[in-house]
């Protein structure tokens, strides 16, 4: 076996092992959820946390499937509004203890033909960047609409602006200004969106607002 074959085999084995444990975590999250509901333990934030854990586990599990069949897309029809709102929900845990006012408004909807996991991961990555750009206190808005055959998702935040020079580099593989960043987020988002016929661009970054835009074709 050559090095590439060994790496492939190990990747498959490791993803298999991780997926086994992810499904155990998912099973226990479901048990916790059912127990909370059965006992009438009325704590919305705990139920919400369990739901977020389950969704994150789904993303981890799907990403691990991706590792087995690299670059393969699973395209299906989804409701644009539902996908945007789900992506928004999935990203909220990244706020942690920052004081961020997050809002999401989807004006209208249509069907889109996408790989749900990869599309959701893009929304989450862009919102995560927006959260990371805010030091302590700030605002993030996700505004979406269907217009002229496209679904537009505009994700904006205040906070640290991206200088004109850096704007040219942010979509490059490995470009980061963060101490613990890998610089893969936007690169993966752009590549995955383009593979699904969608686009990602930076609309603007000024002292007051930074705005990214996803445009995905809607099914007519
Ligand atoms: N909303 C934003 N506001 C300010 N700067 C941003 C924003 N989004 C991206 N950037 C800049 O673009 C760079 C690249 O982002 P990208 O998501 O690709 O990598 P990263 O966030 O540094 O690392 P990771 O791989 O963990 O996502 C960031 O390091 C940051 O400098
Ligand atoms: Mg990032």
What does the pLDDT read at residue 62?
77
Q: Does any ligand 1 atom lie closer than 6 A to the CB of residue 200?
A: no
Q: Any idea which ligand is nearest the CA of 131?
A: 1
- Residue-wise pLDDT tens digits, 131-190: 999 999 999 999 999 999 999 999 999 999 999 999 999 999 989 999 988 888 999 899
The whole-model pTM stands at 0.81
Alpha carbon of 64 to ligand 2 centroid (Å): 19
| 6 pLDDT more than 90 | no
Structure-model confidence comparison of residues 56 and 165, the more confident one:
165
Q: What's the rounded Cα separation, in Å, for the pair 47 and 123? A: 23
Residue-level pLDDT at 60: 86
Tell me which residues have their CB within 5 A of the ion that is ligand 2: 129, 185
Ligand 2 mean position, distance from CA 126 (Å): 7
What is the fold, at CATH topology level, of the domain defined by 76-217? Heat Shock Protein 90 (3.30.565)
pLDDT at 19 over 90: no
Q: Which long-range contacts (CB under 8 A, 24 or more apart) does 89-92 make?
A: 89/52, 89/55, 90/52, 90/55, 90/56, 90/59, 90/120, 90/123, 90/124, 91/123, 91/124, 91/127, 91/128, 91/131, 92/52
Q: Assess whether pLDDT exceeds 90 at residue 10.
A: no
170 lines ligand 1 (CB under 6 A): yes
CA distance 114 to 214: 13
How large is the average pLDDT for residues 25-29?
A: 92
Give the model confidence (pLDDT) of 59-105 as tens digits: 888 788 777 666 678 899 999 999 999 999 988 888 888 999 999 99
Angle at CA 153, nearest 5°, toward 107 and 51?
85
């Amino acid at each position: 076996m050559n090095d590439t074959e060994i790496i492939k085999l190990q990747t498959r084995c490791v993803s298999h092992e991780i997926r086994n444990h992810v499904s155990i975590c998912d099973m226990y999250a479901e048990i916790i959820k059912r127990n909370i509901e059965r006992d009438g333990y009325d704590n919305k934030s705990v139920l919400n946390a369990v739901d977020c854990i389950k969704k994150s586990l789904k993303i981890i599990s799907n990403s691990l499937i991706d590792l087995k069949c690299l670059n393969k897309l699973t395209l299906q029809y989804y409701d644009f509004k539902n996908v945007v709102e789900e992506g928004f929900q999935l990203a909220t845990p990244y706020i942690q203890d920052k004081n961020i006012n997050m809002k999401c408004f989807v004006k209208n909807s249509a069907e889109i033909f996408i790989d749900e996991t990869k599309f959701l991961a893009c929304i989450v990555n862009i919102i995560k960047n927006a959260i990371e750009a805010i030091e302590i206190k700030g605002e993030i808005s996700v505004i979406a609409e269907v217009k002229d055959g496209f679904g537009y998702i505009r994700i904006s935040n205040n906070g640290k602006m991206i200088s004109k020079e850096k704007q040219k580099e942010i979509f490059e593989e490995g470009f980061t200004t963060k101490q613990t960043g890998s610089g893969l987020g936007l690169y993966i988002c752009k590549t995955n969106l383009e593979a699904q016929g969608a686009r990602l661009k930076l609309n603007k970054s000024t002292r007051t607002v930074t705005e990214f835009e996803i445009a995905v074709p809607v099914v007519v």
